[in-house]
Amino acid sequence: MITNGSGIRKQAHKNSRMVNGLKEDDDAPLPSKIKDYVAFLIIFAVILSLITIRGNYILAPPYAVSAYLVVFQRNTKYASRKSLAATYLLVIITSDIIHLAIGVALEGLILNVIIVSAFITFTEFSHPPAIALAIFSYIAGDPLDFTISSLLALAALLAGYLILDKFTARNRK
């Protein structure tokens, strides 16, 4: 039996390892990995189809990493729904404010990375792709495109998370 950070006792898979107090199944059976991989591809395809509306594919890399974490690492602190939502919203807000106040300049990028990295380091909300997302907000250049694309991606990631949770819970019964 293993106790996670919440005090909940679980039976650990014999090939599981503990990461940040939570079980990680790197050695899941191949059919399970294939299902997860298909889920990752579907979530990422939904994100791409949503951001196609804005035509901003440059933002795809941090969204892809977030989708990967949601599917394959969803039991870790790096992929919790709270961390995902908090860090994406922080990046959207800080990026928009800094873009409006300073513009799309190196100083703003540095300030934004400092804010986001401090947030994920010193709070319970740790989603490292948020740092990349902050940087990509400067590559994208258009704050409105960045905000809309990031909100659409966040909605798709959270929906994917909920669907995976429901599907996984149903398979355990």
For residue 3, is it within any domain?
A: no
HSE-up of 99 (CA within 13 Å, CB side)?
Answer: 20
Enumerate the β-bridge partners of residue 120: none
Residue 116 CA to its chain's centroid (Å): 14
What pLDDT was estimated at residue 172? 54
Q: How far apart are CA 66 and CA 160, in angstroms?
A: 11
- Give domain status of residue 74, yes or no: yes
Answer for the pair 143, 137: CB distance below 8 angstroms, yes or no.
yes
Residue 130 structural domain: 29-172
Q: How far apart are CA 45 and CA 66, in angstroms?
A: 13
pLDDT at 27: 61
pLDDT at 37: 93
Q: Is residue 21 part of a domain?
A: no
Output the pLDDT for position 57: 77
Is residue 44 situated within a structural domain? yes
- Is 51 a member of any domain? yes
User: Rg of the Cα trace of the chain?
Assistant: 17
- pLDDT, residue 17, reads 46
Whole-angstrom Cα distance, residue 135 to residue 88?
A: 13
**How many domains would you assign to the chain?**
1
Q: Is residue 2 part of a domain?
A: no
CB contact set of 172 (below 8 Å; sequence gap of 6+): none
**Mean pLDDT of successive 10-residue stretches along the chain, which has 173 residues:** 46 45 58 90 92 77 94 90 96 95 91 97 95 91 87 94 81 56
